[in-house]
Chain A
Amino acid sequence: MSTTDQPSQRPVVVGRDVGRSFDGRSIYSGIDLDIHADEFVALLGRSGTGKSTLLRALAGLDDGYDGSVLVPAARSVVFQEPRLLPWRRVRANVELGLPRGGRRRALATGALAEVGLTERAGAWPVTLSGGEAQRVALARALVREPQLLLLDEPFGALDALTRLKMHGLLRELCRRHRPAVLLVTHDVDEAIALADRVLVLDGGRFVVDRRVALDHPRDRSEPAFGALRAELLEQLGVQIGERAA
Chain B
Amino acid sequence: MSALDTIGVGGELAGPLPRPAELPTAPPAGGPPAGHAAHEPTSVVVLEEAWPAAKRRTGRVLVPRSVRRMTGPLLLLALWFLVTATGLVSARTLANPIDVAKAFWELAETGELTRHLWVSLKRVVVGLALGVSSGVALAVLAGLFRLGDDIVDSAVQMLRTVPVLGLVPLFMVWFGIGEEPKIALITIGTLFPVYVNTYAGIRGVDAKLVEAATTFGVGRWGLIRQVILPGALPNFLVGLRFSLTASWLILIVAEQLNTREGLGYLVNEARVWFRTDIIVLTLVIYAVIGLALDGGVRLLERRLLAWRRGFAAR
Which residues of A does B touch, CB under 8 Å?
59-61, 75-77, 79, 81, 83, 85-89, 96-97, 122-127, 140, 144
Asked if A61 contacts B307 (CB within 8 A), the reply is: no
Given A83-B208, A85-B227, A122-B312, CB of A97 within 8 Å of CB of B307: no
Chain A residue at smallest Cβ distance from B219: A97
B56 CB-CB contact with A under 8 Å: no
> Which of A61, A81, A85, A140: most chain B CB closer than 10 A?
A85
Asked if B212 contacts A87 (CB within 8 A), the reply is: no
Report the count of interface residues on B (CB-CB < 8 A).
22
Chain B residue at smallest Cβ distance from A95: B216
Asked if A85 contacts B309 (CB within 8 A), the reply is: no
Asked if A123 contacts B212 (CB within 8 A), the reply is: no
Contact partner of B216 among A87, A89, A96, CB < 8 A?
A96
B9 CB-CB contact with A under 8 Å: no
Contact partner of B222 among A89, A97, A123, CB < 8 A?
A97
B42 CB-CB contact with A under 8 Å: no
Given A86-B307, A97-B222, CB of A61 within 8 Å of CB of B211: yes
Given A96-B226, A122-B312, A125-B307, CB of A85 within 8 Å of CB of B215: no
Contact partner of A87 among B211, B213, B231, B312, CB < 8 A?
B231
Contact partner of B212 among A60, A83, A89, CB < 8 A?
A83
Q: Which residues of B contact A140 (CB under 8 A)?
A: 216
Asked if A144 contacts B216 (CB within 8 A), the reply is: yes
Q: Which 7 A-B pairs have the closest CB atoms?
A: A97-B216, A83-B212, A127-B310, A124-B310, A97-B217, A87-B230, A126-B310
- Alpha-carbon distance between A96 and B216 when the two chains are bound, in angstroms: 7
B308 CB-CB contact with A under 8 Å: yes
Q: How far is the CB of A62 from chain B (nearest CB, A)?
A: 11
- Alpha-carbon distance between A123 and B214 when the two chains are bound, in angstroms: 23
Chain A residue at smallest Cβ distance from B304: A87
- Which B residues between 200 and 240 are near A, CB-CB below 8 angstroms? 208-209, 211-218, 222, 226-227, 230-231, 233
Contact partner of B308 among A85, A88, A126, CB < 8 A?
A126
Given A87-B233, A97-B218, A97-B222, CB of A79 within 8 Å of CB of B308: no
In the complex, 25 of the A-B residue pairs with CB atoms within 8 angstroms, ordered by the A residue number, are A61-B214, A76-B215, A77-B215, A79-B208, A83-B209, A83-B212, A85-B213, A85-B226, A85-B230, A86-B307, A87-B230, A87-B231, A87-B233, A88-B230, A88-B307, A89-B307, A96-B226, A124-B307, A124-B312, A125-B307, A126-B307, A126-B308, A127-B310, A140-B216, A144-B216
Q: How far is the CB of B211 from chain A (nearest CB, A)?
A: 6
Asked if B213 contacts A61 (CB within 8 A), the reply is: no
- Alpha-carbon distance between A96 and B213 when the two chains are bound, in angstroms: 7
- Alpha-carbon distance between A76 and B231 when the two chains are bound, in angstroms: 23
- Alpha-carbon distance between A87 and B307 when the two chains are bound, in angstroms: 5
Q: How far is the CB of A129 from chain B (nearest CB, A)?
A: 12
B101 CB-CB contact with A under 8 Å: no
Q: Which residues of B contact A127 (CB under 8 A)?
A: 310
Q: Which residues of B contact A79 (CB under 8 A)?
A: 208, 212
Asked if A81 contacts B213 (CB within 8 A), the reply is: no
B233-273 interface code vs A (CB 8 A; 1 in, 0 out): 10000000000000000000000000000000000000000
Q: How far is the CB of A64 from chain B (nearest CB, A)?
A: 15
Q: How far is the CB of A216 from chain B (nearest CB, A)?
A: 29
- Alpha-carbon distance between A86 and B308 when the two chains are bound, in angstroms: 7
Q: How far is the CB of A245 from chain B (nearest CB, A)?
A: 33
B283 CB-CB contact with A under 8 Å: no
Asked if B310 contacts A123 (CB within 8 A), the reply is: yes
B285 CB-CB contact with A under 8 Å: no
Q: How far is the CB of A103 from chain B (nearest CB, A)?
A: 16
Given A124-B306, A125-B307, A126-B309, CB of A77 within 8 Å of CB of B231: no
Q: How far is the CB of B225 from chain A (nearest CB, A)?
A: 12
Asked if B209 contacts A85 (CB within 8 A), the reply is: yes
Q: Which residues of B contact A76 (CB under 8 A)?
A: 215-216
Q: Which residues of A contact B306 (CB under 8 A)?
A: 124
- Alpha-carbon distance between A59 and B215 when the two chains are bound, in angstroms: 7
- Alpha-carbon distance between A81 and B307 when the two chains are bound, in angstroms: 18
Chain A residue at smallest Cβ distance from B215: A77
- Alpha-carbon distance between A87 and B209 when the two chains are bound, in angstroms: 11
Contact partner of B215 among A60, A86, A122, A125, CB < 8 A?
A60
Q: Which residues of A contact B312 (CB under 8 A)?
A: 122, 124
- Alpha-carbon distance between A76 and B230 when the two chains are bound, in angstroms: 23
Q: Which residues of A contact B212 (CB under 8 A)?
A: 77, 79, 83
Chain B residue at smallest Cβ distance from A79: B212
- Alpha-carbon distance between A81 and B231 when the two chains are bound, in angstroms: 17
Chain A residue at smallest Cβ distance from B208: A83
Q: How far is the CB of A142 from chain B (nearest CB, A)?
A: 12
Q: How far is the CB of B238 from chain A (nearest CB, A)?
A: 16
Q: Which residues of B contact A61 (CB under 8 A)?
A: 211, 214-215
- Alpha-carbon distance between A140 and B218 when the two chains are bound, in angstroms: 13
Q: How far is the CB of B221 from chain A (nearest CB, A)?
A: 12
Q: How far is the CB of B109 from chain A (nearest CB, A)?
A: 49
